[in-house]
Amino acid sequence: MKVLIIEDEQLASQKLIRLIEEIDSSIEIVEIIKSVEQATNWFLNNLHPELIFMDIQLEDGICFEIFENCAIKTPVIFTTAYDDYSLKAFKVNSVDYLLKPVVLEELKNAIEKFKTVHRQKVDYAKIESFINQLLPKKKERFLIKIGEHYRSIEISRINCFFIKERCNFINVDKGKNYAIDYSLDKVEDIIDSKIFFRVNRNFIINFSAIQDVIAYSSSRLKIMITNWEENDEILVSRERVAEFKEWMDR
């Protein structure tokens, strides 16, 4: 069995290799990768392994950016010091979610789970339905603060969520922007993906707010939305164009 390790801490990767070899010496580790950029390039240019061991926080970003850049169907065992991303992990082929320091017995159980479940034919529709039942209900409103006052903004009024100068905002009504306390990664988890789409790292747009979609280049699209008065252009990243077209054509 060929496996890939994505881990930026050398001691952690060395320990993981030692534990894997102790559990099953026939497992072949094809590569050890430390960054989102390196992983993206590797997946685009190599045959994908049977299993991936992946840390959440890498040296140049969060591992979920890899899934935005590449189509990855390989099952993943997450090994991380963070317990905040377990729900997001189960959306991207997660076999198990192990907190560091990884111990032998938990790793062994995760590998056995992969061998007994993911090497068999799986009813993914039933699994997705089960996961959706576990997920919290989609958010209906966002609370914002204006001076000393608070307002609750209905999700249908939000044209887009965006990042500007390292802060997170919503754009509503007549081009008004309000700061929110949620990261875009968190927002993506709690809003309805049938209505909203994350076109790139900095923008999540509402389908109802789209006024026009323009061919920006041979491989990118430019989005025009209602009452957008900022200088920033809203572009669909190259890696998300195909998925965006499918979302628009549902």
- Taking a C-beta distance cutoff of 8 angstroms, is the pair 205, 160 a contact? yes
Q: What CATH number is attached to the domain comprising 243?
A: 2.40.50.1020
* 80 and 169 housed in the same domain: no
Note the pTM of the prediction, 2 decimals: 0.50
pLDDT in tens, 106-148: 999 999 999 887 655 455 556 666 666 666 678 889 999 888 8
Residue ranges making up the domain that contains 107:
2-134
Let me know the angle formed at the C-alpha of 84 by 205 and 82, rounded to the nearest 5 degrees: 130
CATH of the domain at 82: 3.40.50.2300
Scan for tokens 């204006």, then name that residue.
146
> How many domains, the chain?
2
Judge if 161 and 126 occupy the same domain: no
Among candidate residues 71, 100, 134, the one where a domain is terminated: 134
Q: Does the pLDDT value for residue 50 go beyond 90?
A: yes
pLDDT at position 249, please?
Answer: 87
User: Could you tell me if 166 and 240 lie in one domain?
Assistant: yes
Question: 182 near 228, Cβ under 8 Å?
Answer: no
Pair 40, 117 in one domain? yes
Residues 203 and 102 in one domain: no
Nearest to 192 by CA among 209, 207, 210, 175: 207
Structure tokens given for 192: 């309805």
